[in-house]
C-alpha cells in the first residue's frame, strides 16, 4: 500500500510540474531563503520596536528551551505558528526551513529510543529481530526536542523577517552586541549568495566535464579540490571586498544608523511575550501532566 501511495504521489507531482511548465526536478536548488524577504509587509511585528522585539523574543526562546513537558512544548509550537500567521509571513518559506531542520532532527526519533539509558519505570518494547529494546521514554524525549526546536525556529521568522536586516543589526548594536559581530552577520548574509553562486558555477563547470559524485576516492579527491578552490576564491573575495570598503572611507565602523523610538505599546507587547513564556514555564513546572 505504501509503495502504491508513493508511486501515485510521484505521478501527481510530475503532472503538476509538467502543468506548470517546470522541468527542474533533477536540478540542484542552491537558493537560500532571504532572511528579511518579508520585511516590507505590515503587521504588529513589523511595527514593533526592533530592540524590544529582539530582547523579548530571545527571552521567550530561552523560556521555551527550558520546558520539560511535551504538552507545553506543543503549546509553544502553536504559539509560534500563530506568531508566523500574525506576522503575515508565507508558510511556504517557513515550511522549507522546517523541512530542512526535520531532515536532521528526524533522526532523533530513531536514535534516541534505541540509545537512552534505561531507567526504572521505562516502557521498553522489543521488535524482533532487533536485539536492542525500543525505549518509549527516548521517543518522548526526541519528540520534545523536536517540538521545542520547531517552536524556536518558527519564532525566528517574526523576529528576523519583519525588519530589514540592517535595522535588526542596528537594534542588536543598541543592545550592546559588539560591532564586529554585527558587521560579520551583515556581510555573511550579503556574501552567502555570492559564494553560493560561485560554488554553483564551479560545480557546473565540473559537471559539464563529466563529474558525477560517487562513493570512491576519486570523488573525494575532486571534492577536496573543489572545496579548496572555493575557499581560496572566497578568501580572495573577502580581501577585495575589504579593500573596496577601505577605498570608500571605511574606518572600522559601518556608518549605517537607524533611529529607534519605543512606544508604550511596544513595551506592553514585549512584556506580554515574556509573560507568555514565563506562564508556559510555570505550568510546565507545577507538576500538571506529569508524563506529557
Partner 1 sequence: MTGPALLSFGETMHDLATDVEVPKEGQNLFQLRSLSFSYADGHRALQDIDLDIFPGDRIALVGQNGAGKTTLVRHLNGIYTNQAGSLLYKGQSIQGDNLIRARRQVGILFQDPDDHLFNNTIYEDVAFGPMNQGLARDVVDERVRKALERVELDHLMFKAPNNLSLGQKKRAAFAAIMAMEPEVLILDEPTANLDSRQEKIFDELLLDYRGTLICISHDLLFLYGLCSRAVVLDHGKIHHDYSLKELVSHRASLREHGLDFTFRFIDCCHSSESHDHSKESHEHTESHEHSENLDHLALSQSDKETAVRIITPPMESVPDEKSQVIRLENYSFQYKDGTWGFKDINMTVKEGEKIAIVGENGAGKSTLAGCILGVKQGSGKYYFKNDLIMHSARGELWRQIGMVFQDSSDQLFCPSCEEEVAFGPKQMGLSPLELEKRVTEALALVKLSGFEKRVPMNLSGGERKRLAIAAVLSMRPQVLILDEPSANLDPRNEELLLHILHDLPVTQILISHDMFFVNNSSHRTVVMNQGSILSDLPTSDFIEDEHLVGHQLDYAYKNVCGREIMKMQEAVENGG
Query: By the criterion CB under 8 A, which residues form the site for partner 1?
Result: 21-24, 26-27, 29, 31, 34, 36, 47, 49-50, 163-167, 186-187, 189-191, 193-194, 197-198, 201-202, 204-212, 218, 222, 225-226, 228-229, 232-233, 237, 240-241, 243-251, 253-263, 266
Rounded Cα gap, residues 180 and 186, in angstroms: 10
Tell which residue, 236, 88, 62, has the closest CA to residue 151. Answer: 62
CB of 268 to partner 1, least distance (A): 14
**Residue with smaller CB distance to partner 1, 2 or 212:** 212
**Residue with smaller CB distance to partner 1, 133 or 164:** 164
Residue 135 β-bridge partners: 124
Rounded Cα gap, residues 106 and 99, in angstroms: 10
CB of 282 to partner 1, least distance (A): 32
**Residue with smaller CB distance to partner 1, 26 or 119:** 26
Query: Three-class SS string for 45-60?
Result: HHHCCHHHHHHHHHHH
Query: Is omega for the bond preceding 53 within 30 degrees of 0, making it cis?
Result: no
**Residue with smaller CB distance to partner 1, 104 or 259:** 259
Residue 124 β-bridge partners: 135
For the chain, the farthest-separated pair of C-alpha atoms sits apart, in whole angstroms, at 70
CB of 186 to partner 1, least distance (A): 7
| Angle of CA points 152, 154, 159, to nearest 5° | 85
**Residue with smaller CB distance to partner 1, 85 or 265:** 265
CB of 131 to partner 1, least distance (A): 43
Amino acid at each position: 500500500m505504501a509503495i502504491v501511495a508513493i508511486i501515485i504521489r510521484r505521478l501527481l507531482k510530475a503532472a503538476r510540474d509538467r502543468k506548470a511548465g517546470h522541468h527542474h526536478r533533477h536540478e540542484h536548488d542552491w537558493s537560500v531563503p532571504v532572511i528579511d524577504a518579508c520585511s516590507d509587509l505590515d503587521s504588529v511585528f513589523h511595527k514593533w520596536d526592533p530592540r524590544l522585539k529582539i530582547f523579548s523574543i530571545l527571552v521567550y526562546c530561552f523560556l521555551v528551551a527550558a520546558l520539560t513537558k511535551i504538552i507545553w512544548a506543543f503549546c509553544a509550537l502553536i504559539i509560534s505558528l500563530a506568531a508566523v500567521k500574525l506576522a503575515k509571513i508565507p508558510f511556504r518559506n517557513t515550511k522549507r526551513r522546517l523541512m530542512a531542520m526535520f531532515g536532521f532532527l528526524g533522526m532523533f526519533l530513531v536514535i534516541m529510543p534505541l540509545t537512552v539509558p534505561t531507567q526504572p519505570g521505562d516502557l521498553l518494547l522489543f521488535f524482533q529481530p532487533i536485539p536492542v529494546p525500543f525505549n518509549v521514554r527516548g521517543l518522548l524525549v526526541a519528540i520534545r526536542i523536536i517540538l521545542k526546536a520547531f517552536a524556536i525556529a518558527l519564532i525566528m521568522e517574526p523576529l528576523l523577517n519583519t525588519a530589514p536586516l540592517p535595522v535588526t543589526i542596528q537594534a542588536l548594536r543598541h543592545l550592546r552586541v559588539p560591532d564586529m559581530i554585527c558587521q560579520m552577520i551583515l556581510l555573511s548574509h550579503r556574501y552567502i549568495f555570492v559564494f553560493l553562486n560561485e560554488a554553483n558555477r564551479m560545480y557546473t563547470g565540473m559537471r559539464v566535464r563529466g563529474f558525477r559524485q560517487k562513493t570512491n576516492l576519486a570523488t573525494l579527491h575532486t571534492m577536496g579540490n573543489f572545496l579548496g578552490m572555493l575557499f581560496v576564491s572566497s578568501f580572495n573575495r573577502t580581501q577585495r571586498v575589504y579593500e573596496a570598503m577601505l577605498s570608500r572611507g571605511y574606518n572600522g565602523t559601518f556608518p549605517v544608523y537607524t533611529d529607534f523610538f519605543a512606544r508604550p505599546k511596544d513595551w506592553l507587547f514585549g512584556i506580554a511575550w515574556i509573560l507568555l513564556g514565563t506562564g508556559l514555564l510555570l505550568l510546565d513546572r507545577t507538576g500538571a501532566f506529569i508524563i506529557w
